[in-house]
A and B are shown apart, each in its own frame.
Chain A
Protein backbone atom coordinates (compact mmCIF):
# COMPACT_ATOMS: atom_id res chain seq x y z
CA UNK A 1 0.00 0.00 0.00
CA UNK A 2 1.05 3.57 -0.58
CA UNK A 3 2.47 5.33 2.42
CA UNK A 4 4.35 8.52 3.24
CA UNK A 5 6.44 8.85 6.40
CA UNK A 6 7.63 12.14 7.81
CA UNK A 7 9.50 10.97 10.87
CA UNK A 8 10.19 14.45 12.24
CA UNK A 9 7.12 15.68 14.06
CA UNK A 10 8.59 19.03 15.10
CA UNK A 11 11.81 20.85 14.35
CA UNK A 12 12.99 24.01 16.03
CA UNK A 13 15.83 26.10 14.60
CA UNK A 14 17.26 29.56 14.97
CA UNK A 15 17.07 31.96 12.04
CA UNK A 16 19.75 31.51 9.39
CA UNK A 17 20.26 27.86 10.20
CA UNK A 18 19.81 25.33 7.41
CA UNK A 19 17.17 22.69 8.01
CA UNK A 20 16.21 19.48 6.18
CA UNK A 21 12.77 17.93 6.33
CA UNK A 22 12.73 14.21 5.62
CA UNK A 23 10.16 12.34 3.54
CA UNK A 24 10.18 8.61 2.84
CA UNK A 25 7.55 6.98 0.69
CA UNK A 26 6.36 3.51 -0.26
CA UNK A 27 4.68 2.61 -3.52
CA UNK A 28 4.49 -0.25 -5.97
CA UNK A 29 3.71 2.04 -8.88
CA UNK A 30 6.42 2.80 -11.39
CA UNK A 31 4.79 6.09 -12.34
CA UNK A 32 3.97 8.46 -9.53
CA UNK A 33 4.39 12.04 -8.41
CA UNK A 34 5.70 13.54 -5.21
CA UNK A 35 4.65 16.89 -3.79
CA UNK A 36 5.59 19.24 -0.99
CA UNK A 37 3.06 21.63 0.52
CA UNK A 38 3.47 24.33 3.15
CA UNK A 39 0.71 25.12 5.67
CA UNK A 40 1.33 28.46 7.39
CA UNK A 41 -0.62 29.45 10.51
CA UNK A 42 -3.40 30.84 8.29
CA UNK A 43 -4.28 27.23 7.45
CA UNK A 44 -4.25 27.18 3.65
CA UNK A 45 -1.92 24.63 2.11
CA UNK A 46 0.42 26.17 -0.44
CA UNK A 47 1.91 24.07 -3.22
CA UNK A 48 5.73 24.15 -3.29
CA UNK A 49 6.92 21.52 -5.74
CA UNK A 50 5.97 18.50 -7.81
CA UNK A 51 8.39 15.82 -8.97
CA UNK A 52 7.62 12.84 -11.20
CA UNK A 53 9.15 9.42 -10.66
CA UNK A 54 11.22 9.57 -13.83
CA UNK A 55 12.97 12.79 -12.95
CA UNK A 56 15.59 12.40 -10.26
CA UNK A 57 17.22 15.74 -10.82
CA UNK A 58 17.48 17.81 -7.71
CA UNK A 59 15.76 21.15 -7.79
CA UNK A 60 16.60 24.49 -6.27
CA UNK A 61 14.29 27.45 -5.95
CA UNK A 62 15.83 30.33 -4.04
CA UNK A 63 16.47 29.13 -0.49
CA UNK A 64 14.54 25.91 -1.08
CA UNK A 65 16.00 22.73 -2.52
CA UNK A 66 14.72 19.21 -2.95
CA UNK A 67 16.63 15.95 -3.11
CA UNK A 68 14.81 13.04 -4.76
CA UNK A 69 16.44 9.61 -4.46
CA UNK A 70 14.53 6.67 -5.85
CA UNK A 71 17.06 4.20 -4.49
CA UNK A 72 16.11 5.15 -0.93
CA UNK A 73 12.51 6.21 -1.72
CA UNK A 74 13.13 9.62 -0.27
CA UNK A 75 12.20 13.15 -1.26
CA UNK A 76 13.83 15.48 1.24
CA UNK A 77 13.36 19.23 1.46
CA UNK A 78 16.07 21.64 2.60
CA UNK A 79 15.62 25.27 3.57
CA UNK A 80 18.86 27.22 3.51
CA UNK A 81 19.33 30.21 5.82
CA UNK A 82 15.89 29.76 7.40
CA UNK A 83 13.70 32.75 8.21
CA UNK A 84 10.88 33.28 10.68
CA UNK A 85 8.42 33.32 7.75
CA UNK A 86 9.36 29.70 7.05
CA UNK A 87 7.60 28.67 10.26
CA UNK A 88 4.79 26.36 9.15
CA UNK A 89 3.73 22.75 8.90
CA UNK A 90 5.20 21.06 5.84
CA UNK A 91 3.55 18.09 4.18
CA UNK A 92 5.03 15.61 1.77
CA UNK A 93 2.52 13.79 -0.45
CA UNK A 94 2.59 10.87 -2.86
CA UNK A 95 0.17 10.59 -5.73
CA UNK A 96 -1.73 7.71 -7.10
CA UNK A 97 -2.46 8.83 -10.66
CA UNK A 98 -6.06 7.98 -11.49
CA UNK A 99 -7.17 7.84 -15.08
CA UNK A 100 -10.90 8.32 -14.58
CA UNK A 101 -12.42 10.97 -16.83
CA UNK A 102 -9.70 13.59 -17.41
CA UNK A 103 -7.55 12.11 -14.68
CA UNK A 104 -6.52 13.39 -11.30
CA UNK A 105 -4.00 12.79 -8.55
CA UNK A 106 -5.18 11.05 -5.42
CA UNK A 107 -2.77 12.31 -2.79
CA UNK A 108 -1.49 10.34 0.20
CA UNK A 109 -0.12 12.76 2.76
CA UNK A 110 2.47 12.28 5.43
CA UNK A 111 1.64 13.39 8.98
CA UNK A 112 3.51 16.65 8.48
CA UNK A 113 6.53 18.29 10.10
CA UNK A 114 6.04 21.44 12.15
CA UNK A 115 8.95 23.81 11.66
CA UNK A 116 9.51 26.64 14.11
CA UNK A 117 12.13 29.23 13.20
CA UNK A 118 13.08 31.50 16.06
CA UNK A 119 14.66 34.95 15.69
Chain B
Protein backbone atom coordinates (compact mmCIF):
# COMPACT_ATOMS: atom_id res chain seq x y z
CA UNK B 1 0.00 0.00 0.00
CA UNK B 2 1.13 3.52 -0.84
CA UNK B 3 2.26 5.37 2.23
CA UNK B 4 3.26 8.90 3.18
CA UNK B 5 4.05 9.46 6.83
CA UNK B 6 4.62 12.64 8.77
CA UNK B 7 6.65 12.80 11.96
CA UNK B 8 3.97 14.33 14.21
CA UNK B 9 0.19 14.69 14.14
CA UNK B 10 0.22 17.57 16.61
CA UNK B 11 2.97 20.01 17.49
CA UNK B 12 3.04 23.03 19.79
CA UNK B 13 5.95 25.47 19.53
CA UNK B 14 6.82 28.91 20.81
CA UNK B 15 7.36 32.02 18.69
CA UNK B 16 10.94 32.21 17.46
CA UNK B 17 11.65 28.48 17.75
CA UNK B 18 13.11 26.54 14.83
CA UNK B 19 10.66 23.86 13.73
CA UNK B 20 11.28 20.77 11.62
CA UNK B 21 8.46 18.85 9.98
CA UNK B 22 9.48 15.54 8.49
CA UNK B 23 7.84 13.59 5.70
CA UNK B 24 8.74 10.12 4.45
CA UNK B 25 7.29 8.22 1.50
CA UNK B 26 7.87 4.58 0.70
CA UNK B 27 6.78 4.58 -2.93
CA UNK B 28 10.05 5.65 -4.58
CA UNK B 29 8.31 8.78 -5.87
CA UNK B 30 10.34 11.47 -7.59
CA UNK B 31 8.17 14.41 -6.54
CA UNK B 32 7.39 15.61 -3.04
CA UNK B 33 5.32 18.58 -1.88
CA UNK B 34 4.56 20.61 1.23
CA UNK B 35 1.18 22.37 1.59
CA UNK B 36 -0.49 24.29 4.31
CA UNK B 37 -4.23 24.07 4.81
CA UNK B 38 -6.24 26.91 6.32
CA UNK B 39 -10.03 27.19 6.63
CA UNK B 40 -11.61 28.84 3.61
CA UNK B 41 -8.34 28.81 1.67
CA UNK B 42 -7.97 25.17 0.70
CA UNK B 43 -4.44 23.86 0.31
CA UNK B 44 -1.63 26.17 -0.72
CA UNK B 45 1.72 24.98 -1.99
CA UNK B 46 4.75 26.03 0.05
CA UNK B 47 7.61 24.17 -1.65
CA UNK B 48 8.10 21.14 -3.82
CA UNK B 49 10.98 18.95 -4.90
CA UNK B 50 11.27 16.98 -8.13
CA UNK B 51 14.54 15.24 -7.31
CA UNK B 52 17.03 14.79 -4.50
CA UNK B 53 18.57 18.14 -3.52
CA UNK B 54 16.28 19.94 -6.01
CA UNK B 55 13.59 22.29 -4.78
CA UNK B 56 11.26 24.92 -6.14
CA UNK B 57 9.22 27.59 -4.40
CA UNK B 58 5.50 27.23 -4.40
CA UNK B 59 2.96 29.97 -3.90
CA UNK B 60 3.72 30.85 -0.27
CA UNK B 61 7.40 30.08 0.49
CA UNK B 62 8.09 33.07 2.74
CA UNK B 63 9.19 32.03 6.22
CA UNK B 64 9.88 28.43 5.16
CA UNK B 65 12.74 26.40 3.77
CA UNK B 66 13.03 22.73 2.76
CA UNK B 67 15.58 19.99 2.55
CA UNK B 68 15.65 16.81 0.48
CA UNK B 69 18.84 14.86 1.07
CA UNK B 70 17.33 11.47 0.30
CA UNK B 71 14.67 10.52 -2.21
CA UNK B 72 12.21 9.28 0.37
CA UNK B 73 12.47 12.18 2.84
CA UNK B 74 11.37 15.80 2.50
CA UNK B 75 11.66 18.19 5.43
CA UNK B 76 9.95 21.51 5.97
CA UNK B 77 11.78 24.00 8.18
CA UNK B 78 10.39 27.05 9.91
CA UNK B 79 13.53 29.00 10.77
CA UNK B 80 11.80 31.21 13.34
CA UNK B 81 8.22 30.20 13.95
CA UNK B 82 5.57 32.90 14.11
CA UNK B 83 1.94 32.79 15.20
CA UNK B 84 0.73 33.23 11.62
CA UNK B 85 2.33 29.90 10.79
CA UNK B 86 -0.18 28.11 12.98
CA UNK B 87 -1.83 25.77 10.49
CA UNK B 88 -2.27 22.22 9.21
CA UNK B 89 0.72 21.09 7.17
CA UNK B 90 0.30 18.35 4.58
CA UNK B 91 3.01 16.49 2.76
CA UNK B 92 2.41 14.72 -0.56
CA UNK B 93 4.35 12.72 -3.11
CA UNK B 94 3.83 11.64 -6.71
CA UNK B 95 5.54 9.67 -9.42
CA UNK B 96 7.30 11.64 -12.12
CA UNK B 97 5.06 12.60 -15.01
CA UNK B 98 2.40 15.24 -15.48
CA UNK B 99 -0.46 12.78 -15.28
CA UNK B 100 0.07 11.34 -11.84
CA UNK B 101 -1.94 12.03 -8.75
CA UNK B 102 -0.42 13.09 -5.46
CA UNK B 103 -0.60 10.91 -2.37
CA UNK B 104 -0.97 12.70 0.93
CA UNK B 105 0.19 12.12 4.48
CA UNK B 106 -2.10 12.51 7.51
CA UNK B 107 -0.99 16.08 8.23
CA UNK B 108 0.68 17.87 11.14
CA UNK B 109 -1.36 20.41 13.05
CA UNK B 110 1.15 23.01 14.21
CA UNK B 111 0.29 25.59 16.85
CA UNK B 112 2.71 28.46 17.45
CA UNK B 113 2.17 30.27 20.75
Contact = CB atoms under 8 A, between A and B. Distances in A.
Contacts of B31: 102, 104
Interface in A74-93: 91, 93
Nearest to B92: A45
B50 A100 contact: yes
Contacts of A109: 42-44
A103 B40 contact: no
Given A104-B48, A105-B94, A52 B99 contact: yes
Please tell me the size bucket of the interface on B. Answer: 20 to 34
Contacts of A102: 30-31, 50, 95-97
- For the residues of A in contact with B, the DSSP-based class is strand
Contacts of B106: 42-44
B56 to A, nearest CB: 7
A82 to B, nearest CB: 22
Interface of B: 9, 30-31, 40-45, 48, 50-51, 54, 56, 58, 88, 90, 92, 94-107
30 contacts: A4-B42, A6-B42, A35-B101, A43-B106, A43-B107, A44-B105, A44-B106, A46-B104, A47-B101, A47-B102, A52-B99, A91-B43, A100-B50, A100-B56, A101-B50, A102-B31, A102-B95, A104-B30, A104-B48, A104-B50, A104-B98, A104-B100, A106-B48, A106-B58, A107-B45, A110-B42, A111-B40, A111-B41, A111-B42, A112-B42
